[in-house]
Amino acid sequence: MAAFPQPRFSPAARWSRALGAFSAMLFVVSALAHRFGLVETVPFLWLLGLSGGLAVFGLLLAVCGFVQMWEHGLAGLKAAGAGLLLSALVLSPFAVSAYRFAVHPPLTDISTDLERPPRLLRAAALRTAPMNRIAPIGGEDAQLQALAYPALHGRRYEYAMETVVEAVEALVAARRWRRHAPVPRREGAADVTVEAVARSFLLGFASDVAIRVEERDNATYVDMRSVSRYGRHDLGDNAERIRRFLEDLDRRIEALGDL
């Protein structure tokens, strides 16, 4: 009985699966290492770019594998499919970031008070090159923020400042933001600033946060600032961080009135 010849395996499909698997492994391992502080941000960015580049090649090779199978009857459908899927999964965060890059303004320093933003004294002292420098918010950046995030504003509460500070500190602790050593309160000062380091959920990119609680006009005012450590575009993260924090603070303060 004559044996039917087995079709040759598509080289492109085989390489697509290998590159897709390696890029996925590199992305996950480097992201976890950065998230838990085992890899610094600059080396992580190089690893991120490498994993993305490998995923692009994996995707292209998967397409080449499908073409080879169609035109020459080669085997490797599962391998090309696996390479396509793994490469697409690795590239999906890049696609989301590209979308957010397009829809958000190129800002890295966001504050609810643009004229007198909360001070980041501890963060400014700890930042070194190539981190972004903490500086006053310029007029052009302030205008961009006002246009992009018109609903982002501070809060006014009819509660004692100490009560609001306790609520702020409880929310910072609940988010597991790392607190900077507190700045000594000036004698007779009517404000307290809480400084902390917040990290993005997925990849752990750090931003320095300052929350100012201030007594003024027989009420307590809260303003917040969030500044990315690296990059020239925060992809909207800082504004979203402030919005969520202040909404949670609103709910916590409202709950005090129900007691």
- CB of 20 within 8 A of CB of 58? yes
Q: Which CATH architecture has domain 109-257?
A: 2-Layer Sandwich (3.30)
Residue 178, both tokens: 């790392």
DSSP string for 87-129: HHHHHHHHHHHHHHHHHS-S-SEEES-SSSPPP-HHHHHH--T
User: pTM score > 0.95 for this model?
Assistant: no
Per-residue pLDDT of the chain (259 residues; tens, 9 = 90+): 445 556 687 888 889 999 999 999 999 999 999 988 899 999 999 999 999 999 999 999 999 988 888 887 777 789 889 999 999 999 999 999 999 999 999 999 999 999 999 999 888 888 888 899 998 998 899 999 999 999 999 999 999 999 999 999 999 999 999 998 776 566 566 789 999 999 998 888 999 999 999 998 889 999 999 999 999 999 999 999 999 999 999 999 998 876 5
Q: Which H or E run includes 157?
A: strand 155-157
Any idea how long the chain is? 259
Residue 105: exposed, middle, or buried by beta-carbon count in 10 A (0-12, 13-18, 19+)?
Answer: middle
- pLDDT 10s digits, 114-145: 999 999 988 888 888 889 999 899 889 999 99
pLDDT, tens only, 195-206? 999 999 888 899
Secondary structure letter of residue 38 according to DSSP: S
Backbone angles phi, psi at 192, to 5 degrees: -130, 135
- What are the residue ranges spanned by the domains of the chain? 11-103, 109-257
Percent of the chain with pLDDT strictly greater than 90? 72
